Amino acid sequence: MPEDLMVGQELVDVADTEVEFQGRPLTMQIGRPRWHAVGDGELTALCGTAQRRLLPIGQPWMSAFPDNVDRCRACEEWIGQ
Ligand SMILES: [Zn+2]
């Protein structure tokens, strides 16, 4: 596994949700997180997903994740996991 890989979080299955905030209607985008592998200082995940869609969360990429973490299969294949 390459060293210095970090997690870039992407929101997938995004849908607009209407909420009320301070008495005014507000549209929020709700989704669920998927983790990509991003090289340290890189602008793109290993699978090609652009960083502007990814949120760095300060989590190093691990060789194993809990089952409930949705990892990008393309990034895992690139790493060889
Ligand atoms: Zn990926």
- pLDDT tens by residue, 7-17: 999 999 999 99
pLDDT of residue 20: 95
Give the domain range for residue 55: 5-79
Q: Which residues of the chain have pLDDT under 70?
A: 1-2
pLDDT of residue 1: 66
User: In total, how many domains does the chain have?
Assistant: 1
**Amino acid occupying residue 20:** E
- What is the value of pTM for the model shown? 0.80
Using alpha carbons only, give the angle 79, 32, 35 rounded to the nearest 5 degrees: 15
Percent helix, percent strand, percent coil in the chain, to nearest 5: 10, 55, 35
Residue linked to tokens 């929020």: 28
How many whole angstroms from 46 Cα to the centroid of ligand 1?
6
**Amino acid occupying residue 41:** G
How many whole angstroms from 9 Cα to the centroid of ligand 1?
9
Rounded to whole angstroms, how far apart are CA atoms 1 and 3?
Answer: 6
Rounded to whole angstroms, how far apart are CA atoms 55 and 76?
Answer: 18
